[in-house]
Amino acid sequence: MMKKHTVPDVNAWNLHQLARAVSQHANDIKQSCSIIQEAYQWAEHFGEQVDKATFKPSVKESLQVAIIATTEMSLDLPTAIAAILTPAFLAGLIKEEAVEKRFGAKATSILKELEALKRYRLRNDTIRNYPHHPDINCHHIVAILLQMCDIIRVHCSGVALENLDSELVHSSAQLLLDLKYFYIPLSHRMRMYDIQTKLADFWLKHTDTLSYYAITAKLGMTKMKRQQKLNLIAEEVQAALQTRGIHFIIKKRIKSVYSIWHKIKKLKISFDQVHDLTAIRIILTNMDGKTLQEEKVACWRMLSIISNLYKPMCNIMRDWVSTPRDSSYESLHLTFETYKYGQLEVQIRTERMDYIAEHGKAAHWRYKYTL
């Protein structure tokens, strides 16, 4: 499997592995592999026939986009085919009728949407009005997701932005505007948090490079090592709660470079005042039939258990269970000193509270990317 946060190595990732990623059943792999092989060879054929100066994107790069689409977003075979054929199609080397005859209507429709998006220029209020867009359809969304995949490919490859060469995205200046006002808020709104993090970090790296590298230097370790530390903390917490027979779900989050930068700017604080670099969210389940007061008591009981495990930093606490925010957001937030692993923010809420936080008027995307 491809490791996240890295650009796919096409030499290590053969077409058979891509076929496995897009196949729902083992019996489908052989047919999927045959279709992908046909698309890859077809794209290579057109790439060899044209002047490299006018047709720069390689088939390997479009295959990387297909791999990201299938592994990061779980997109299907027609989408992978569209990704592979995109450079040749947008360059006018492959005709719509030929694609539909070989690979079907869905791959063709996605390519047509990509062609339309290439001409489209986003406005600052696009994300706000997007759900009401009259021309929105499933393939339009998939085309946007493929654009996100190509941005991630560029980000992970380490290519200098001034040397950006892609058929899926515009100039570097336009790309950064589109990221800020559309792709980052949209991916967050769709709850594609890992994708949103990569896009936001990419944007920050190229708009405030000094801040980006200053924050990464202060973090002092890679994202993978930070995640490993958080995993160990989550295991400790999980073991402590399970021994008490509590029904719960744990979600883990390490704060991205962009999120750290955003908080520093918004609150006008220093890096050392950011206390939620790592966080876990404990969601209490099996609370059906409980009164609001019983839910509050359960949250406070949970906080007491965690306080026996780690040292609470009582000056860094937010109680939105006793007094919900105006947006109806309810949650307990308290920062702890974990002794071995540094500071940890713990958020505690019930399933009902979590639903309001994720889908209701308290949803994060409604306020986080007000630009």
Which long-range CB contacts under 8 A does 130-136 form with residues at least 24 apart? Answer: 130/186
Neighbours of 72 (CB within 10 A): 19
Q: What is the pLDDT of residue 281?
A: 96
Question: What residues contact 20, with CB distance under 8 A and at least 6 apart?
Answer: 29, 32
Q: For residues 53 and 184, give the distance between their C-alpha atoms in angstroms, rounded to a whole number.
A: 32
Q: For residues 132 and 10, give the distance between their C-alpha atoms in angstroms, rounded to a whole number.
A: 39
User: In the chain, how many domains are there?
Assistant: 2
Provide the residue range defining the domain that includes 176: 15-207
Q: For residues 86 and 165, give the distance between their C-alpha atoms in angstroms, rounded to a whole number.
A: 13
Q: For residues 246 and 298, give the distance between their C-alpha atoms in angstroms, rounded to a whole number.
A: 10
Q: Which of 186, 318, 342, 331 is nearest to 254 (CA)?
A: 342
Domain match, 165 and 256 both: no
Edge-first strand order for the sheet with 311-319 is 248-254, 278-284, 343-350, 332-337, 311-319
Asked which of 178, 207, 236 is the last residue of a domain, the reply is 207
Q: What is the pLDDT of residue 223?
A: 84
> Is residue 127 scored above 60 in pLDDT?
no
The average confidence (pLDDT) of the chain is: 82
9 domain-assigned: no
Domain match, 201 and 163 both: yes
291 domain-assigned: yes
99 domain-assigned: yes
Asked which of 188, 207, 226 is the last residue of a domain, the reply is 207
Q: Give the CATH number for residue 362.
A: 3.30.460.10
In this structure, the dihedral spanned by the alpha carbons of residues 356, 361, 365 and 371, taken in order and rounded to 10 degrees, is -160
> Is residue 174 scored above 90 in pLDDT?
no
Domain match, 52 and 200 both: yes
Residue 18 near residue 67 (C-beta atoms within 8 A): yes
Q: What is the pLDDT of residue 44?
A: 83
Domain match, 27 and 84 both: yes
Query: What DSSP designation does 221 have?
Result: S
Higher pLDDT, 116 or 291: 291
5 domain-assigned: no
Q: For residues 326 and 324, give the distance between their C-alpha atoms in angstroms, rounded to a whole number.
A: 7
Higher pLDDT, 269 or 139: 269
> Is residue 219 scored above 70 in pLDDT?
yes
Domain match, 157 and 299 both: no
Residues forming a β-bridge with 348: 282, 332
Domain match, 199 and 227 both: no
Domain match, 242 and 359 both: yes
2 domain-assigned: no
Q: What is the pTM of this model?
A: 0.73
Residue 350 near residue 295 (C-beta atoms within 8 A): yes
Q: What is the Cα gyration radius of the chain? A: 23
Written as one letter, the residue type at 327 is S
Domain match, 279 and 160 both: no
Pairing of strands 343-350, 332-337: antiparallel
- pLDDT band of residue 181 (cuts 50, 70, 90) is confident
Residue 204 near residue 196 (C-beta atoms within 8 A): no
Q: What is the pLDDT of residue 371?
A: 43
- Which tokens in the block code for residue 254? 């390490």
Domain match, 222 and 199 both: no
- Which tokens in the block code for residue 182? 């559309």
Domain match, 105 and 71 both: yes
Asked which of 207, 237, 259 is the last residue of a domain, the reply is 207
Q: For residues 296 and 331, give the distance between their C-alpha atoms in angstroms, rounded to a whole number.
A: 9
> Is residue 243 scored above 80 in pLDDT?
yes
Question: What residues contact 296, with CB distance under 8 A and at least 6 apart?
Answer: 321, 322
Three-state SS at 169: coil
For the stretch 336-368, pLDDT in tens is 999 888 899 999 999 999 998 887 765 554 555
8 domain-assigned: no
- Which tokens in the block code for residue 301? 């009981």
Written as one letter, the residue type at 121 is R
Domain match, 166 and 246 both: no
221 domain-assigned: yes
Q: Which of 273, 307, 297, 284 is nearest to 354 (CA)?
A: 284
pLDDT average, residue stretch 144-168 = 67
49 domain-assigned: yes
Domain match, 232 and 347 both: yes
Tally of helices (H runs) and strands (E runs) in the chain: 17, 5
Neighbours of 345 (CB within 10 A): 21
pLDDT average, residue stretch 101-110 = 93
Question: What residues contact 311, with CB distance under 8 A and at least 6 apart?
Answer: 336, 337, 339
Q: Give the CATH number for residue 133.
A: 1.10.3210.10
